[in-house]
Every structure is written in structure tokens, then in C-alpha cells.
Amino acid sequence: MEKHYGWVIVAAGAVITCVAAGSMFALPVYLQPMADDTGWTRAGISGAMTLGFLVMGVAGFLWGTISDRIGARPVLLIATVLLGLGLLLSSRATDLVMFQLSYGGLIGAAGGAFFAPLMATTIGWFDKNRSLAVSLVSIGGGVAPMVVTPLASVLIEQIGWRSAMMSIALGAVVIVAPLALLVRPAPAARAAAPGATELADIPAPAASAADRLGAIVRTPQFIVLAGTFFLCCAAHSGPIFHTVSYAMICGASSLAAASIYSVEGVAGLFGRLFFGVGADRFGVKRVIVGGLLLQAAGIFTYIYVTQLRDFYMLAAVLGMAYGGVMPLYGVLAREYFPAHVMGTVLGGITMTSSIGMAFGPIGGGWIFDTFGDYQWLYISSAAIGLAAAALALAFPQPQRPADAMPQPA
């Protein structure tokens, strides 16, 4: 049983990420009923999501470091409480600032606590099929828009947005808490996976968090990894966020335009599977570079798309590209860093990715307000995507224990 327990971690992680991500990112379906009921502006309500992204990035770094110290299970349980409490307080909020702080602050802090600990734990359980395992855990995030979001919509119609959000809060705690108890660290022999680069300048687990953090962020491996993740997310966040608006400008109905997201979500599921299998077979670096090039090409193609059918086809390509690439950064990180700092490393690169995601929506809005269309959004985003692929080429080859250990930059 111990030999195959890693797949239990994968199954639990997939459900946890589905419920957690779905609970947090369902805010768009609450937007209209909340505005009608409270009189709050859409910008004010949406501001909670912007705050959530920022808090999630910083919190991910902190939670990842904490999980290296106390393990993933306590962090996941704390995050579950924060998620339920944030949704509960948000559902009762009578003031916009209170809503922004509870949703963006508490739920954002909870959202940052799931990715790094789960990925670090999953990576530790696998020597073979590591890319596939990590990709399967991340599938939960892709399934979330097709499960939690429709559920929230149905609940809103039947019992109102406040009761719907409270119901989601209770359901999230009931589902996630027992699954979090199934998450446990990998056996010591498996955690010390052969082939991972045990950087000489990374202090041992007993060292202070500050010493380990300083040593990690100065290494070329971390700089390139974090930079590539940042550029990858900065490239696709704007096109993803503004796709519905652009499709409606091209004549699509609001419902048809919104369905483009569903196509991206379904394609992302296949992308995670195919890219995960491909990374195990052909190497993580090659698959990441190929996926980034495909993403850049797909983004640039948007300037030629005006028909709904073409939007769907492009959504399938882009969804597969960015959905497949995103989980692989964690796999590549394990090839460079020892197991006892994986939470810190993954938390750090997640923070940079969240910052990258935050640039796209506001940048795309500024471009449209300035130029009157989205053409320069797609041109600039494609250029950023190419920069991500170029930086990914700088990933150093993972060193074996017999090799010379790299020094901090």
C-alpha cells in the first residue's frame, strides 16, 4: 500500500484544488446579483479578486516556507478554515470594504496555501511518472470552472447570492478537511529522489528560514525558473481575461463568448495529461519550451480571429498550451532543488506567477482604453510569451551529485 500511496495523494490533491480554486474563482457569477442587491460597483466587487491575486502570491511564498517546517497537512487544514471563514464572512458582508478584505484577504491567503504544499508533497512521492502525477493534481483547477461555478450559479438562482456563498463555504470545508488528512509526507528514501540537484549552498532543514530563503533566491536556477513563470503568466493573463470582451466586439453573444472559457478549460485538462506524459518521456525542459512557443503563436493569432468558430479553435490550442505547461514548473524545480526546500521554492515561483497574472487584466484594459481595440494587447502578449520561451532555454541542466555544485548568482 505504501508503494502506491502517492496516487492517493494525487487523487486527494486533485479534489482539493478543484474545490479550493472553484470556491475562490467563482466570484464572476456573483458579480451581477451582488451589484443588484447591494448597489456596489462592479469595479469595487472585482477589486476583491485583484486583492485576492496579490495576497495569494505573497501568502503562497509564506505558506510554502511554513510547509517545509511543519508539513503540508497542517497548512492545508489551516487554509481550509481560512477559506470557509472568508466565504462565510463575505456572504454576510454589508460593507464593500469588509467584503474586499474578507474575500480578497482571507480567501486569497487560503488560495495561496494549497498549491505549493500539495505540489511539493506530490513531487516527493514520485520518482517515475512525476510529471504526470503533478499534472493530474493540477487538473482539479481546470475542472473547477466546470463544477463549482455552475453549482454556484444554480444556488444563486434558487436561494440568492448570500446563501449560495455560505453553502459553498460549508461544502468546501466538509469536502477539503477530510481529504487534507490523507496528505502525508513521502518516505525519506523517496523524498531524497536521485537525480535532483542538492545545491551545496542550500542549508539543511535545521537551518533558519531566512538562511534557506536567501540561499534559494540567489541561485541561477531559481532566478530563471521564477522569471519564466512570471513571463508565462504575464503573457496569457491579458488574453484570457479580455477574450469575452473581444469576442463580443466581434459580434458574439455574451453567452457564446463566455463559453469560450469552457473550451479553454476542457482543452486544459487534455493539455495537463498530454504534456505530463510528454515531459516524463521527452524531458520537462523541452516540453515547457515547446508549450511556451505554442502559447505565443496562439496569442498572436488572435489578431486575425473574428468568427466564433475560430475563437473556439484557438481557445482549444491556448487552453492546451498554458494548461499543460503550468504544472511542469514544479517538476522542473524538483530537478534543481532538494526536497526539504520544495515548499519555499514552489511558493516563491507561485508568487512571481501571481504578479504576472495581475498585470494582464489591467494592462489589457489600458491598451483598449488608449487605442480603442485589443490588437496591441495580443502583439505585446505574444512578445512576452516569446521572451518566456527564450528565458526557458536558459534553464541549466540538472546536475548530479557528482557534478560541481552551482554557486549563487
pLDDT of residue 88: 94
The whole-number average pLDDT for the span 366-377 is 86
**For residue 261, which of 319, 192, 214, 326 has the smallest C-alpha distance?**
319
**For residue 111, which of 358, 354, 357, 356 has the smallest C-alpha distance?**
354
| Long-range contacts of the stretch 363-372 (C-beta < 8 A, 24+) | 363/238, 364/238, 364/239, 364/241, 364/242, 365/242, 368/242, 368/245
- Residues of each domain in the chain carrying CATH 1.20.1250.20: 2-185, 209-392
pLDDT of residue 190: 45
Domain 209-392 has CATH 1.20.1250.20: yes
The whole-number average pLDDT for the span 60-72 is 83
pLDDT of residue 317: 92
**Exposure of 30 by Cβ count < 10 A (0-12 exposed, 13-18 middle, 19+ buried)?**
buried
Helices 254-282, 328-336: inter-axial angle, 10-degree rounding: 30
Rank 30-39, 157-166, 344-353, 391-400 by mean pLDDT and report only the highest. Answer: 157-166
130-141 residue pLDDT tens: 778 887 887 777
pLDDT of residue 172: 93
pLDDT of residue 203: 52
**For residue 15, which of 155, 143, 168, 149 has the smallest C-alpha distance?**
143
The whole-number average pLDDT for the span 90-116 is 89
pLDDT of residue 284: 86
7-16 residue pLDDT tens: 899 999 989 9
**For residue 207, which of 45, 344, 317, 85 has the smallest C-alpha distance?**
344
Q: Which residue has the higher pLDDT, 80 or 242?
A: 80
143-173 residue pLDDT tens: 776 778 778 888 888 899 999 999 999 999 9
pLDDT of residue 400: 45
Identity at 316, one-letter amino acid code: A
172-194 residue pLDDT tens: 999 999 999 998 887 764 444 44
Identity at 382, one-letter amino acid code: A
pTM: 0.71
Torsion of CA 73, 26, 89, 49, to 10 degrees: 90
Please report how many Cα atoms fall inside a 13 Å half-sphere around the Cα of residue 296, on the Cβ side. Answer: 18
Dist. CA 201–CA 212, nearest whole Å: 9
pLDDT of residue 194: 42
With cut-offs at 50, 70 and 90, classify the pLDDT of residue 212: low
pLDDT of residue 189: 40
Dist. CA 289–CA 232, nearest whole Å: 11
With cut-offs at 50, 70 and 90, classify the pLDDT of residue 210: low
pLDDT of residue 213: 67
Cell of 151: 453549482
Dist. CA 276–CA 287, nearest whole Å: 9
391, 202 in Cβ contact below 8 A? no
pLDDT of residue 204: 52
290-343 residue pLDDT tens: 999 999 999 999 999 989 899 999 989 998 998 888 888 888 887 888 777 777
338 phi-psi bin (left φ>0, alpha ψ -120 to 50, beta other): beta
Cell of 48: 476583491
Please report how many Cα atoms fall inside a 13 Å half-sphere around the Cα of residue 204, on the Cβ side. Answer: 1
pLDDT above 90 (res 81): yes
Q: Which CATH superfamily is domain 2-185 in?
A: MFS general substrate transporter like domains (1.20.1250.20)
Cell of 162: 448570500
CA distances from 194 to 125, 188, 216, 335, 349 (A): 12, 12, 20, 9, 23
**For residue 132, which of 279, 289, 17, 308 has the smallest C-alpha distance?**
279
State the average pLDDT for the chain. Answer: 82
pLDDT above 80 (res 407): no
Buried b / exposed e along 263-279 (16+ C-beta atoms within 10 A): bbbbbbbbbbbebbebb
